[in-house]
A = this chain, B = another copy of it.
Amino acid sequence: MSAGDAGGPEQRARALLAEERRSIDNIDAALVNLLAERFRHTQRVGRLKAEHDLPPADPDREEQQIARLRALAVESGLDPVFAERFLRFIVTEVIRHHEQIRENGADGADATA
């Protein structure tokens, strides 16, 4: 039986691939929703800091976040280097949001959140 036959190894591989992709799509939907919710919180943080003149940055907070995420990554089998890169990727977007808050008249927005 060649790999191209119905029910052959390639067909089974393609069926397994479709299964994996369905899971990946579900996970991606969850990731998008969680990211949307995370940015709702950081937007509130930006407004709070701007309104109450709280310090714009908090290096201790960011260090704690990185250390915690790296530890959580190791626990769940994710590369901790990637987890750190991921947090920095998100924080870059938060900075952009907080700059928008600042530009809209408030100051003191924070990137760490």
Which residues of chain B are within 8 angstroms of A51 by Cβ–Cβ distance? 13
A55 to chain B, nearest CB (A): 11
Contact check, B16 vs A48: say whether CB atoms are below 8 A apart.
yes
- Interfacial chain B residues near A25, Cβ < 8 Å: 65, 68
Task: Give how many copies assemble into the complex.
Answer: 2
Q: Please list the residues of chain A having a beta carbon within 8 angstroms of any beta carbon in chain B.
A: 3, 9-10, 13-14, 16-17, 20-21, 23-25, 27-42, 44-45, 48-49, 51-54, 61, 65, 68-69, 72-73, 76-78, 82-83, 86-87, 89, 93, 113
User: Could you list some 15 contacts between A and B, CB below 8 A?
Assistant: A3-B53, A10-B52, A13-B49, A20-B113, A24-B42, A24-B113, A28-B65, A28-B87, A31-B31, A31-B38, A31-B86, A32-B78, A32-B86, A86-B89, A89-B89
